[in-house]
């Protein structure tokens, strides 16, 4: 009977640790996902500016009036 109680206590402690680790890792992944989405959107915005700037310079070689 003591062995059964010991096994139940060990299993419940292991389950508690597993739940704690799952929640901790899940929160870290959510934070990391938010950071990655923000960084990727910044990179995409900058690439869009660069590519449109390149296209504008190709279409209009003299954007400012030349005296």
pLDDT digits (tens, 9 = 90+) for 4-17: 888 888 888 888 88
For every residue of 6-66, DSSP letters joined together read HHHHHHHHHHHHHHHHHHHHHHHHHHHHHHHHHHHHHHHHHHHHHHHHHHHHHH-S--SPP
CA angle 61/65/67 to nearest 5° reads 120
Q: Where are the domains of the chain?
A: 24-57
pTM, to two decimals: 0.46
Which residues, other chains included, contact 63 with Cβ-Cβ below 8 Å and sequence gap of 6+? Answer: 56, 57
Residue % of the chain over a pLDDT of 90? 0
What are residue 61's phi and psi, to 5 degrees?
-65, -20
């Amino acid at each position: 009977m003591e062995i059964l109680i010991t096994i139940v206590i060990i299993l419940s402690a292991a389950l508690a640790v597993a739940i704690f680790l799952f929640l901790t890792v899940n929160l870290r992944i959510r934070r990391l996902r938010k950071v990655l989405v923000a960084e990727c959107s910044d990179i995409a915005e900058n690439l869009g500016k660069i590519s449109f700037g390149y296209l504008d310079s190709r279409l209009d070689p003299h954007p400012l009036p030349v005296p």
